[in-house]
Amino acid sequence: MSEIRLNDTNLMFNISDLKALKQEIDSNDKECDAVRGGGSAVQELEKMANNYKQMKSNISVLIGNTIGFMENVNNSFIGNDHKAAMGFR
């Protein structure tokens, strides 16, 4: 069986970076001014703005899920390491 090597210091550093990135994404919420007029150009710009908002939301969810996964990996690693250490006593 292969050995799994995990640098928990780097993992925690990366989790912190991702949390900061998610906080920055979530706090940066700009609303567009109301648009007067019509035409296809205005409609396309509104579609682009809505697509951008959806993409921003999806990226935030993806980063949040990644943070959760990485925290679970770290907690599992710590728990298994502790169990292994107790087995040697």
Q: Per-domain residue ranges for the chain? A: 40-89
Distances (CA, A) of 68 to 36, 52, 63, 88: 43, 24, 9, 31
| Residues near 88 by beta carbon (within 8 Å), at least 6 away in sequence | none
- pLDDT of the residue at 13: 95
Contact criterion met (CB below 8 Å) for 8 and 78:
yes
Given this model, what pLDDT does residue 81 score?
66
What was the pLDDT predicted at 58? 98
Per-residue pLDDT tens digits of the chain, which is 89 residues long = 556 677 788 999 999 999 999 999 999 887 777 767 778 888 898 899 899 999 999 999 999 999 999 999 888 887 776 676 677 66
What pLDDT sits at residue 66? Answer: 98
Q: What is the pLDDT of residue 85?
A: 67
